[in-house]
Structure 1
Amino acid sequence: MAAEGGKIDPMHQFLVEPLFGKHLIVGGYDISFTNSALFMVLTLACIWAFMMGGMKRALIPGRWQAAVEGFTGFVANMMETNIGPKGKAFTPYVFSLFMFILVANLIGMLPLGIVPGWHAFTVTSHLTVTGVLAIISFSIVLVVGFARHGFHFFSLFVPHGTPGYMIPLIFLIELFSFLIRPFSLGLRLFVAMTAGHILLKVLAGFVINGINAGPGIAAIVSIPSFILMIGITLLELLVCAIQAYVFALLTSLYLNDAINLH
């Protein structure tokens, strides 16, 4: 949390900066290991540890194994419901996508700010990250659609029963709607995580500045702000899970369009 003259900057938490304070330039390119890269590595490490610890395949599963099976079963059921048996081949990708977004969101909520000079970094609050995830999903949809159906894939943009004279207009509208999908997919996650973290940081500023202003101001400003922070934090934890689910759900629905041409 950056503070100058008693003011707290709620945008400082989104700043990507090298871990050791110096930029590593090689061949004109900045290849510094940043806080963003660190939290991506931590996210992958947490997912790896979670999966490895729960893949013992015991006859009577323990809590850890049951948790892993619960997550994998949840995504597998979603794919089966939205796509059908053909969706099984894409379950590992959608599961990886869901787990990465969920764990990255939750790690970004860790209260590391209580340690001076530290703060959690939410990688999904950057459009570059959410945009890349959206583009990867959209690219898979395009590859699968054309690989399975060839140019018949374009029939997706002409709903059944469309009158002949309406086909050019409907085709353009459906094509535009299809092409906007990666933008809406990436923006939705980016905006949700960014807005929530800014709100929490602003409330934290009210709490800190109210306390610094004295007991009277603290009672009027800091205590209500702190109580509101607790409620917003609980809401943000729910948003973390919902946004991961929505991203995975929409990806499965887009894959359904490419596979089944619905």
Structure 2
Amino acid sequence: MATEAAPGEETGGLVFHPLDQFIVKPLFNPEGAVHWYTITNVTLWLALAVVAIVALFVLGTRGRAMVPSRSQSIGEVLYGFTYKMVEDVAGKDAIKFFPYIMTLFMFILFSNYLGLIPASFATTSHIAVTGVLALAVFLTVTIVGFVKNGVGFLGLFWVSSAPLVLRPILAIIELISYFVRPVSHSIRLGGNIMAGHAVMKVFAGFAAVAAISPFAVLSITAIYGLEMLVAGVQAYVFTILTCVYLKDALHPSH
């Protein structure tokens, strides 16, 4: 946002602080310290995402009518879309993990869209949030891989189709890339959400300048529309990558 200079302070123009919107603050005492037990703005919007999901899938579909209501139709579409994604990408034997993947997809999707409400907080812009989600996926697929395949899970890192002399080198590369998964998985989501919100905040600051205000407002509108698309796409990308990782755990051989 644009800010005015303090009295006596020289300034050459507008000053923007587009990253201030990502600051974690106590909900009831904005100037206080943040501890592990502190209820913050992040806590509030994470809780609202859970409430919104429960409202749609529990309250909105409780009637289970033959002619579905609008909320029931949305719930059924999201359910069918996610189920088909898991089945197509990870295979039929991955269906037992559908509740976890469905929960993951819904949580990210609702968090992304709630973060687009004016004066809200984009929880998925924080690596602390996306990192936990990505680490949970990493640990889940790793445990599943070893439980289902035992030592055979290590076949994921051994490229048997490559020339024998290259296989040890490729194994090291595959091993490194495997442990980098939670990093790339979390940064991809958090970085895209943060970038979009920061750009909108910059243009919102330019809207205070009368000469370029119309252009800034049009730009904000266009970027907001793009962010509506990005919010859905990033939830989908995170979830489909989870399905790919799950497939590797269930079928590790190259």
For the pair 1:73 / 2:64, whether they are aligned, the reply is: no
CA distance, structure 2, for counterparts of residue 7 and residue 168 of structure 1? 53
CA distance, structure 2, for counterparts of residue 23 and residue 147 of structure 1? 46
The SS at the match of 2:3 is strand
Please say if residues 55 and 68 of structure 1, whose CA atoms lie closer than 8 Å, have aligned partners that are also in contact.
Answer: no
Q: What's the CA shift string for 1:119-163, capped at 9, x where partnerless? A: 210000101101110000010010100000111100011123223
CA shift for structure 1 position 57? 2.0
The residue type paired with residue 90 of structure 2 is I
Structure 1 range deviating more: 186-195 or 59-68: 59-68
Q: What's the CA shift string for 1:82-140, capped at 9, x where partnerless? A: 122111111111111111111111111102xxxxxxx2100001011011100000100
**Structure-2 residue corresponding to 1:137:** 137
Please say if residues 108 and 120 of structure 1, whose CA atoms lie closer than 8 Å, have aligned partners that are also in contact.
Answer: yes
TM-score (norm 1): 0.88
CA distance, structure 2, for counterparts of residue 232 and residue 73 of structure 1? 30
Please say if residues 112 and 122 of structure 2, whose CA atoms lie closer than 8 Å, have aligned partners that are also in contact.
Answer: yes
The residue type paired with residue 84 of structure 1 is G
**Structure-2 residue corresponding to 1:104:** 111
CA shift for structure 1 position 165? 2.1
The SS at the match of 2:230 is helix
**Structure-2 residue corresponding to 1:41:** 47
CA shift for structure 1 position 54? 2.1
For the pair 1:16 / 2:15, whether they are aligned, the reply is: no
Residue of structure 2 aligned with 1:243, choices 228, 234, 239: 234
CA distance, structure 1, for counterparts of residue 236 and residue 71 of structure 2? 21
**Structure-2 residue corresponding to 1:190:** 190
Q: Percent of counterpart pairs with the same letter?
A: 40
The SS at the match of 1:180 is helix
The residue type paired with residue 88 of structure 1 is I
Please say if residues 196 and 236 of structure 1, whose CA atoms lie closer than 8 Å, have aligned partners that are also in contact.
Answer: yes
- 1:217-236 aligned at under 5 Å gives the runs 218=210, 220-236=211-227
Residue of structure 1 aligned with 2:68, choices 31, 49, 61: 61
Aligned residue pairs: how many?
A: 243
CA shift for structure 1 position 228? 0.8
Please say if residues 23 and 32 of structure 1, whose CA atoms lie closer than 8 Å, have aligned partners that are also in contact.
Answer: no
TM-score (norm 2): 0.91
Unpaired runs of at least 5, structure 1: 112-118, 211-217
CA shift for structure 1 position 38? 0.6
CA distance, structure 1, for counterparts of residue 4 and residue 25 of structure 2? 19
Please say if residues 101 and 124 of structure 1, whose CA atoms lie closer than 8 Å, have aligned partners that are also in contact.
Answer: yes
CA distance, structure 1, for counterparts of residue 96 and residue 143 of structure 2? 14
**Structure-2 residue corresponding to 1:31:** 37
Please say if residues 54 and 67 of structure 1, whose CA atoms lie closer than 8 Å, have aligned partners that are also in contact.
Answer: no
Unpaired runs of at least 5, structure 2: 6-13
The alignment's C-alpha RMSD in Å is: 1.6
The residue type paired with residue 19 of structure 2 is M
